[in-house]
Amino acid sequence: MRVLLTDGSGLTARQTAAQLADAGHTVGVLSPDPVCLARFTRRVRHVWRVPPYGPDPLRWLDAMLSVYQSAGTDVLVPTQEQVAVLSACDDLVRAAGVLMSLRCAVDASTGTASRLPRMISAASKALITSSRSGEARR
């Protein structure tokens, strides 16, 4: 499954990318910084440059939607504060076909996202189910 992380600058993204890649997923990240932390791990296949989130969250959202669709991403995993604009613009995000995982709980003491691969697997099943449902409606 192709997974896109909303930010590649922190340890949360690096740990999440490691867990996902170790579970067999292809991981990409978004970052305004070309030398973000996630760039320095073999587990991240691609880093897409996007505008910084803080000054203009809606500009970041537009860039994220563009990357999500052009990269053929299966699931978006928020790793930082971008979850705020994703929640506020939920109708736009859903209309764009973004499948998002918000149930990721990273253990703050260890930085480990141990439940993440199971959660992505559940998201994969949901994606397959929703695409089959769409076929049945035609």
pLDDT tens digits, one per residue of 15-60: 889 999 999 999 999 999 988 898 888 999 999 999 999 999 999 9
Residue 110's pLDDT band, with cuts at 50, 70 and 90, is low
pLDDT score, position 105: 42
What angle, rounded to 10 degrees, do the helices at 116-137 and 11-22 form? Answer: 70
- Is the pLDDT assigned to residue 102 strictly greater than 60? no
For the chain, the domains span 2-137
The count of C-alpha atoms lying within 13 angstroms of the C-alpha of 39, restricted to the half-sphere facing its C-beta, is 11
Q: What is the pTM for the complete model shown?
A: 0.74
Residue 47 and residue 92 in contact, taking contact as beta carbons nearer than 8 Å:
no
Contacts of 75 (CB under 8 A, 6+ apart): 1, 2, 3, 4, 99, 100, 101, 120, 123, 124, 127
Rounded-to-integer distance, Cα 12 and Cα 6, Å = 11
Q: What stretch of H or E contains 20?
A: helix 11-22
- Is the pLDDT assigned to residue 65 strictly greater than 60? yes
The radius of gyration of the chain's CA atoms, rounded to the nearest angstrom, is: 14
CATH 3.40.50.1700 fits 2-137, yes or no: no
